[in-house]
Structure 1
Amino acid sequence: MRQHRITGHGGVGLEVFDLGPEDAPPILLIHGWSQHHLSWERQYPLAEEFRLIMPDLRGHGASDKPETPGAFDNSTPWAEDVAAIISALSLERPVLVGWSMGGAVAGDYIKHFGDQAISGFCLVDSFATTGTHMAEEARVARLADDAVVATGMTSSDQAANVSATLAFVRACFHQQPNADDLARMVGFNMLCPPHIRKAARQRNEDYRPYLGKMRVPALVLWGAHDRPAPPMVGQVAAAAIPTAKTLVYEDCGHSPFWEEPDRFNADLTQFARHCFEMEPGT
């Protein structure tokens, strides 16, 4: 595993992890809210064929953690961070894969830079709209789920914070992780401070006009039992992207790449091969 320190928007230092042959087709895996590059551990076997680029997003993991909400509450920092990673590592038309909030980060990139420098776009239990733009059915379902709302995760009360983080991590799975994996996940979630969790959720974005202009292949997949991103969310995203194909994992929740990694890895491999075989603009 190679490790890079890359300067993102506003001088924020991003810790980026890099696995697989440097000359292999690159896949940029973008984790979700309060998560970590280790979220993608079960995708490591893909490094036999692809170069996997796995950043800790700004405010997460080993990356810098600015204090100001403006470093997180708008699309510019996230978009420019992705662009900085692509540029610094000289990634040749990577496939962008965004899970949950990571899909919104990928949407930020498309909003600011378009799809000319990528080969494909994949949303994993993620969003084409956030905040006030979210479909009412999905918004109501999320607000009714205390573990998903996760108020305690933005609290300075550490007891409340840990309890809320545990509940949120559990809510990310239909097929629950074992005790050791659960403890590991709660641990890396706790590396994201409360003020960053709060600011990163202060987003009201509608990516549909930008996603609708994409011409590269797209894949939208979700778990049928998803709580943080109810199935309606995936349906809205798929409808927004002209090139999108959809996959539904009937026995998964919010994390199909972890819950059914063999299937997910096979699906992503097939999609990435298709993307990299296509010529730009076709």
Structure 2
Amino acid sequence: MTTISVKAAPLRKGLTLPYAEAGYPRGTPVVFVHGIADSWWSFEPLLRRLPASLHGYAPTQRGHGDADRPPDGYRPEDFAADLVEFLDAADVGRAVLVAASSGGVAARMVAGSHPDRVSGLILLGVPATLADKPALTGMQGTIDGLTDPVPRAFVEDFMSAMVNRPVARGFIETMIDEALKLPAHVWQQTLQGLLEPDLTATLAGILVPTLVIWGDQDDFLPRSDQQIILDAIHGARLLTYEGVGHAVHWEQPERVVADLVEFAARTVPADR
């Protein structure tokens, strides 16, 4: 079990993102990218299990957790630009990007536009598109009506839908507390940025090795959605976790780390 250090990354426009760092300095760089309402804590179960072969970084995105909260700038392209700046600020030249849920949209935009910075891409329960997902579009009206402070009951319901199997209650409570840090405008603008564009366009031009991990009990994403990603990214490979819900890295962190280690060993040595 590795030690997790929490640091701060100053970006060029005066924005500061906290991030967690774990693993070993000589290990393969791995940058974890969380989705809406989460923070670096979403990857705590993975960070504390990293082996000596990996060096992990998990930034908290703007508006989330303890990151700075500008009044706007919550489109996928904004998060993608922040991710590139984070790589610069943390002195990470090239990394495997491991992205969960909606965080995978920004991660794949970076993989497509900055292939020199990305040695591989792992997508954990990442949607091909969101506009056609009833579970999320049905939530849009509720999120549009949110005011500060955001009700705890709403966040509890949101988090409960992430998993199919029980996970440690203390961890879920932490994720609920982290999500409660989001002001209503961050919920609203982030969701609007995900629902308005054609997200399938962000799959174009990805040439880096890609692994898709999906739980077959995901209430948000059907198997057909994941097939769109596989068809769009040449050579992408799918791993299906049976009986697992949307947040595969919460339910089976040991398995995700093992698959990450195997993926990094196959894809990274040639360019290190």
TM-score by length of 1: 0.85
1:8 is aligned to: 11
Deviation at 1:156, TM superposition (A): 1.5
**After superposition, where does 1:1-282 map in structure 2 within 5 Å?**
1-8=4-11, 10-43=13-46, 44-68=48-72, 71-75=73-77, 77-111=78-112, 113-131=113-131, 136=132, 139-143=133-137, 149=140, 151-152=142-143, 155-156=146-147, 158=149, 161-203=151-193, 204-209=196-201, 211-279=203-271
Q: From the superposition, tell whether residues 197 and 220 of structure 1 become closer, same or farther in structure 2 (CA, over 3 Å).
A: same
Q: Distance in 2 between matches of 1:214 and 1:240?
A: 8
Amino acid in the other structure paired with 1:244: A
Q: Distance in 2 between matches of 1:153 and 1:230?
A: 25
Q: Distance in 2 between matches of 1:142 and 1:51?
A: 34
Q: From the superposition, tell whether residues 157 and 88 of structure 1 become closer, same or farther in structure 2 (CA, over 3 Å).
A: closer
CA contact (8 A) 1:154 1:195 kept: no
- Spell out, residue by residue over 1:69-117, the C-alpha distance to the aligned partner (whole angstroms, 9 max, x if none): xx11351x21221111111222132001110111012123235x33122
Query: Structure 1 vs Structure 2: percent identity of aligned residues?
Result: 26
Higher mean C-alpha deviation, range 188-197 or range 208-217: 208-217
Runs (5+) with no aligned partner, structure 1: none
Higher mean C-alpha deviation, range 182-191 or range 7-16: 7-16
Q: From the superposition, tell whether residues 92 and 24 of structure 1 become closer, same or farther in structure 2 (CA, over 3 Å).
A: farther
Amino acid in the other structure paired with 2:175: M
Amino acid in the other structure paired with 1:62: D
Q: Distance in 2 between matches of 1:118 and 1:55?
A: 16
Deviation at 1:10, TM superposition (A): 3.4
CA contact (8 A) 1:129 1:208 kept: yes
Amino acid in the other structure paired with 2:114: G
Q: Distance in 2 between matches of 1:31 and 1:260?
A: 16
- Spell out, residue by residue over 1:110-131, the C-alpha distance to the aligned partner (whole angstroms, 9 max, x if none): 35x3312211011111123343
Deviation at 1:278, TM superposition (A): 2.8
Secondary structure of 1:45's aligned partner? coil
TM-score by length of 2: 0.88
Q: From the superposition, tell whether residues 141 and 163 of structure 1 become closer, same or farther in structure 2 (CA, over 3 Å).
A: closer
Q: Distance in 1 between matches of 2:220 and 2:12?
A: 28
Deviation at 1:45, TM superposition (A): 1.2
Q: CA RMSD in A?
A: 2.3
Amino acid in the other structure paired with 2:258: A
Amino acid in the other structure paired with 2:147: S
Q: From the superposition, tell whether residues 9 and 231 of structure 1 become closer, same or farther in structure 2 (CA, over 3 Å).
A: farther
- Spell out, residue by residue over 1:162-189, the C-alpha distance to the aligned partner (whole angstroms, 9 max, x if none): 1111011000000122433322221111
Q: From the superposition, tell whether residues 176 and 230 of structure 1 become closer, same or farther in structure 2 (CA, over 3 Å).
A: farther
Deviation at 1:55, TM superposition (A): 0.4
Runs (5+) with no aligned partner, structure 2: none
